[in-house]
Amino acid sequence: MRRKLRVLFAAFEAVPFMKTGGLGDVGGSLPQALRAAGCECRVIIPKFMTIPEEYKSKMTHVTDFYVSLGWRNVYCGIEKLTHKGVVYYFVDNEYYFNRERAYGYFDDGERVAYFSKAVVECLQYLPDFKCDVLHCNDWHTALAPVFLREFYQGLPLYENVKTVFSVHNLKFQGQMSDYVLGDILGLWGIPAAANQLRFDERSINFMKGALLYSDILSTVSRTYAEEIKTPFFGEHMDGIFRDRQSVLYGIMNGIDTAGWDPAADPMLPFNYSAADMSGKARCKAALQEELGLEVNPNIPLVVMIGRLTEQKGMDLVQRVLGEILDKDIEVAVLGTGDKQYEDMLSYYAWERRGRCAASVRFDEALSHRMYAGADMLLMPSLFEPCGLSQMIAMRYGTLPVVRETGGLKDSVVPYNQYTGEGTGFSFANYNAHEMMFTLLNAAEVFRTAPGTWSKLMENAMSTDFSWDRAAREYLAVYQLTHPEVEPWRGKKDSADEAPEAESAE
Ligand code: ADP
């Protein structure tokens, strides 16, 4: 049978309805790209109070029912809105979701359990959508695969539903007192479930449940998928990742290539493209001027944009920044985070005026000007599941200097002086001087081999970081769960006309 696969993408965030981090971008971009790739993808998120009124007012009521949660029986309304061609469902319950923020409440465990149960329960009430794949994301939806198998497995409608669970952030796993097991999850009397959710004598772990119950697991880069099988990266789950490595996939996120486009970016003083880079030189001069750095095209300008934390390699920077600044290199940092790093950067910006600039704040517009105006982006992370900044930098022809971990390793091709290939520079060990020498080497190439540098910029700018690539990889993974369905091969723009849901070709 040849038809589109029907995927329900469940998450707590999706742009433009809710965003607190990268997950929101995934929820906003991936479903659209999946549709274009030939898949019927719909999204389900909570109906948060903070969703802008312009969207809320357009939602229509689909259905309502009650969800059992331990001893509770809780109302659930499902509302619907089509946005940019994608159908979004919203789980409506004012008690749980009529709050200022998405997370950070004493009853988050109960709220996410409710959402996960509602997602599974609603599969039988969506009039025109018969789900093949339930794609859950992070700990907020981790219980859905558990509930599906423990409470719904026997029902014919659910038999064919396969589950994919994606880890975007392994730090937050939903670790709760085991009291929750009976009181909220209603799983006390099911020893298999209780055992699989158990973390230690006193606590259970929602994400552990998803990692054991889901048919397929994924995370946000191939290298990170390898790394989390080790104790250092695995956050206590490495044993499960090792056991289940045959169903564990690494798929790099994309970036919004229309929003991050140096040829059309309205936040840049000058636009440019690979065909005509003159605008980039002018952006550099404008940025040097703006940040109080010496305006000189021949001095390499290195930027860092992101959270100032140990994860981002800030202790390496702290160790050698003084030495780097001695070498006729300009360094400009935009970010907020741990106070010790903020203070350290402010100190160097004062002590090395004209060579170093620190903007300790969140500033979206400045970040655009920095991605465009810089020659290099330094990102020496201790670990980096995927990382966006390095991809954005490459799109702007700013060469990344990265540590070879997670998504940094997968997205940056290190410069090879013998073949001339590459899209940036990288080093392997978490060592300040290794980082410094890699950066100095890059600066040397910048100064002495402008032809090579131009070629590297061209390579970086032509790399495909679109969501289309990610969507094709997700689709291939979904297809593994339903080998009986022949992939839909409609042309990209004819996909919308393709028969939906049941029909076969
Ligand atoms: P993280 O681990 O913080 O998610 P990523 O590299 O995946 O790191 O994504 C960080 C995103 O946030 C990038 O798009 C970056 O440009 C943006 N960003 C981080 N800090 C700042 C800031 N201070 N001002 C503007 N943008 C920022």
Average pLDDT over residues 222-247: 98
Question: Is ligand 1 within 6 A of the CB of residue 390?
Answer: no
What average pLDDT does range 96-112 have in this prediction? 95
370 lines ligand 1 (CB under 6 A): no
Output the six-digit token pair for 40. 């019927």
Per-residue pLDDT tens digits for 309-351: 999 999 999 999 999 999 999 999 999 999 999 999 999 999 9
What's the pLDDT score for residue 16? 95
- Half-sphere exposure (Cβ direction) of 400: Cα atoms closer than 13 Å: 31
What is the residue-averaged pLDDT of the chain?
Answer: 95
Q: Mean per-residue pLDDT for 41-48?
A: 98
Question: Residue 491: which pLDDT band, with cuts at 50, 70 and 90?
Answer: low
Of 283, 168, 285, the closest CA to residue 235 belongs to 168
174 ligand 1 Cβ < 6 A: no
Mean per-residue pLDDT, 358-371 = 96
- Residue with CA closest to ligand 1 atom 1: 387
C-beta of 387 in contact with ligand 1 (< 6 A): yes
Of the pLDDT bands very low, low, confident and very high (cuts 50, 70, 90), residue 1 is: confident
Q: How far apart are CA 276 and CA 263, in angstroms?
A: 10
At 101, phi and psi to the nearest 5? -120, 165
- Could you tell me what percent of the chain has a pLDDT over 70? 97
CA 21 – ligand 1 centroid, Å: 9
* Tens-digit pLDDT profile for residues 142-188: 999 999 999 998 899 999 999 999 999 999 999 999 999 999 999 99
The ligand 1 atom at the shortest distance from the C-alpha of residue 335 is: 23
* Distance of alpha carbon 411 from alpha carbon 154, whole angstroms: 43
Contact 19 CB / ligand 1 (< 6 Å): no
Ligand 1 site, residue 164, Cβ cutoff 6 A? no
CB 402, CB 408: distance < 8 Å: yes
Cβ neighbors of 26 (< 8 A, separation 6 or more) are 11, 137, 168, 253
- Which atom of ligand 1 is found nearest the CA of 22? 4
CA 386 / ligand 1 centre spacing (Å): 12
Decide: 336 in ligand 1 pocket, CB within 6 A.
yes
Predicted local confidence at residue 31, as pLDDT: 96
What is the distance in A from the centroid of ligand 1 to the CA of 369?
Answer: 14
Q: Looking at ligand 1, which residue's alpha carbon is closest to its atom 20?
A: 306
Q: Which domains does the chain have, with CATH numbers?
A: 23-40+108-254+466-482 (3.40.50.2000), 278-461 (3.40.50.2000)
**pLDDT band (50, 70, 90) for residue 486:** confident
DSSP string computed for 243-304: HTGGGEEE------TTTS-TTT-TTSSS--BTTBTHHHHHHHHHHHHHHT----TTS-EEEE
Question: What is the best residue among 367, 410, 465 to mutate for testing ligand 1's pocket, by most ligand atoms within 8 Å of CB?
Answer: 367
CA distance 261 to 466: 11
253 CA distance to ligand 1 centroid (A)? 14
Burial class (CB in 10 A: 0-12, 13-18, 19+), 74: middle
Residue 490: per-residue pLDDT: 61
Length of the chain: 505
Any ligand 1 atom below 6 A from CB of 389: yes
pLDDT tier, 20 (very low <50, low <70, confident <90, very high otherwise) = confident
Q: What is the pLDDT of residues 197-222, one digit of tens each?
A: 999 999 999 999 999 999 999 999 99
Range scoring the smallest mean pLDDT among 10-24, 83-97, 212-226: 10-24
| 141 alpha-carbon distance from chain centroid | 16
Specify the pLDDT at position 503: 34
Distance CA 367, CA 377 (A): 11
Asked if 331 contacts 321 with a C-beta cutoff of 8 angstroms, the reply is: yes
Cα-to-centroid distance, 22 and ligand 1 (Å): 9
| Model confidence band, residue 295 (pLDDT cutoffs 50, 70, 90) | very high
Cross-strand pairs, 204: 176, 198
Instruction: Say if residues 321 and 358 touch (Cβ distance below 8 Å).
Output: no
Nearest-atom index, ligand 1, CA of 384: 2
CA 96, CA 116: separation in Å to the nearest integer? 13
Q: How far is the CA of 387 from the centre of ligand 1 (A)?
A: 9
How far separated are the first and last CA of the chain, in Å rounded?
Answer: 7
d(CA 274, CA 460): 10
CB of 171 within 6 A of ligand 1: the answer is: no
- What's the pLDDT at 21? 82
Reported pTM: 0.93
Tell me the two tokens of residue 446: 């910048």
Query: Which residue among 388, 398, 408, 410 has the greatest number of ligand 1 atoms within 8 angstroms of its CB, and so is best to mutate?
Result: 388
Distance of CA 345 to the CA centre of its chain: 27
DSSP class of 150: I
- What is the percentage of the chain residues whose pLDDT exceeds 90? 93
Cis omega (within 30 of 0) for bond into 16 = yes
